[in-house]
Amino acid sequence: MGSDALSLVLQHGAEESETISDENLRDLALELLFAGYETTASAACSTVNLLASNQHVLKKAYTEICDNGLDDLDQMLTFESLGQLEYINNIVKEVLRLLPPIGGGFRKSLK
């Protein structure tokens, strides 16, 4: 079996001798798809939209990028170099606070 989230759930169910209904499997697959793609796209669009309407924030973010030498398109981005961008990290956190990609979770009550 694969190492993706859906395969791991199926593998765990097989190890525990549990069967997963088609309905639960469908719901899980949709949830994984939504959580993995739509939330990232939504957060990115919200960030771009808010930066476009707050030019002073955009300029300060660009200054931070330049100050850390990340404005060179030939330079490879690393997790370490991205970790130095405190202001941009705060921008992302604020965007997610103001416009969370998921407004709430939906579950079925079993009892």
Lowest mean pLDDT among 12-21, 72-81, 93-102: 12-21
CA 62 from centre of chain: 22
pLDDT digits (tens, 9 = 90+) for 50-94: 999 999 999 999 999 999 999 998 888 888 898 999 999 999 999
- Across residues 25-52, what is the average pLDDT? 82
Residue-level length of the chain: 111
Residue with tokens 């930066």: 51
Where on the phi/psi map is residue 17: left (φ > 0), alpha (ψ -120 to 50), or beta?
Answer: left
CA 101 to chain centre: 9
Examine the pLDDT at 100 and tell me if it is beyond 90.
no
> To the nearest whole number, what is the mean pLDDT of the chain?
84
Other beta carbons within 10 angstroms of residue 22's beta carbon come to 7
Residue 35 has a pLDDT of 66
Given a contact cutoff of 8 angstroms between Cβ atoms, the answer to whether 78 and 15 are in contact is no
Give Rg (Cα) of the chain.
Answer: 20
Which amino acid is residue 22, in one-letter code? D
Mean of pLDDT values over 1-13? 72
